[in-house]
Amino acid sequence: MEQSDLKIGDIIEMKKQHPCGSKQWKIIRMGVDFKLECTGCGHIIILERPKALKLIKKVNV
């Protein structure tokens, strides 16, 4: 996954499932870190850029 394919507001699908059962996340902020909000329960996480790009499976705009 390349960073140029992503933008704020995109819905992405991660390889691993969140404990609430959802695999879809909304990108809230991009920079050195990615701030993501779970579309299932609203939980917000911050991941380092390399780790986030590695875990992203596909983009569901």
Kindly state the average pLDDT of the residues 2-11. 81
Q: What are the sequence ranges of the domains in the chain?
A: 1-40
pLDDT digits (tens, 9 = 90+) for 9-44: 999 999 999 999 999 999 999 999 999 999 999 999
pLDDT for 33 equals: 94
61 vs 36, residue with greater confidence: 36
In terms of C-beta density within 10 A (0-12 exposed, 13-18 middle, 19 or more buried), how is residue 1 classed?
middle
Tell me the C-alpha distance between 4 and 45, whole Å: 21
